[in-house]
Structure 1
């Protein structure tokens, strides 16, 4: 297997991010609030603004994009926490460490920004995602919110899982 590389995308990479994002929305529509049809209509200015709003990382194997993740602030009032969101891995690249690499690189970037925690919202009914996040060191919190995903049944919810980024991994 070829090496997995992860790199940040800048504003001028908006078309590359757009391409990967639309592929993710088409392949895994149940995992996102937005739809491919909706985001296909976005103009260049909106895509560029998005690139500046949050940090976007792309995972590549042999120069081909196989995954993406975003890093933003968890809440406008809490600069101590970053938020990992929009994590997606191409089906052909699942199970080979792409998601692990994306999460580790995102955590390092969050730590470099001065964040003490990294928040990752996971569907409570998505056992695979909860297990993955737990395996990466994320711990469940008491925070829940309604699922924002369009295709989910009413009543489904997400749980905030938190990864401590400071010196004491037991503190969240």
Structure 2
């Protein structure tokens, strides 16, 4: 098995992030609020600004990007010391090979290093696989719910649930 490394991207690596993001939007359009064509038309300034708003992490194997995730400020009524994990995506041929796990672990490490005490992750309440995956890292369900930001196409009023991971020495 090839070694997987995870690292934060710099603003100057916006093209790397753009490439993986557009691939994700094309491969998994139902998983994201944005759409491929809209984001593909955005200029360099858009992507550079996006890089500055959140931390963007890339998982690589042999120098090739195989997954991506972002860490930003938590949405809603959360403390300033809370962050949010979002945009997690792994190339289909790399799924089941610990890429997502590596991205989540490194995200938690970076968030904790920035002084964050909590990391939120929103998932569809009907997505048992995603809930189980996040739970395996210590994410726990909260009472926070919101309507799904993406539609599943069948008209259901599915909700997302906020899962939270306590960071630092006090994992309570």
Q: How far, CA to CA, are the matches of 2:152 and 2:36 in structure 1?
A: 13
Unaligned runs of 5+ in 1: none
Instruction: Report the Cα offset of residue 168 of structure 1.
Output: 2.2
Q: How far, CA to CA, are the matches of 1:90 and 1:39 in structure 2?
A: 19
Question: After the TM superposition, which of the residue ranges 70-79 and 91-100 deviates more from structure 2?
Answer: 70-79
Q: How far, CA to CA, are the matches of 1:128 and 1:137 in structure 2?
A: 15
1:57-76 alignment to 2 at 5 Å? 57-75=57-75
CA contact (8 A) 1:117 1:165 kept: yes
Partner of 1:22: 22
Q: How far, CA to CA, are the matches of 2:88 and 2:57 in structure 1?
A: 10
Q: How far, CA to CA, are the matches of 2:87 and 2:156 in structure 1?
A: 21
Instruction: Report the Cα offset of residue 154 of structure 1.
Output: 4.1
Partner of 2:90: 89
1:16-165 alignment to 2 at 5 Å? 16-75=16-75, 78-152=79-153, 153-165=155-167
* Runs of 4+ off more than 2 Å: 75-78, 150-154
Q: How far, CA to CA, are the matches of 2:91 and 2:129 in structure 1?
A: 16
Instruction: Report the Cα offset of residue 151 of structure 1.
Output: 3.9
Partner of 2:170: 168
CA contact (8 A) 1:32 1:150 kept: no
CA contact (8 A) 1:120 1:162 kept: yes
- Give the count of matched residue pairs: 170
RMSD between aligned residues:
1.3
Q: How far, CA to CA, are the matches of 1:150 and 1:143 in structure 2?
A: 19
Unaligned runs of 5+ in 2: none
Q: How far, CA to CA, are the matches of 2:135 and 2:7 in structure 1?
A: 24
Normalising by structure 1, report the TM-score: 0.95
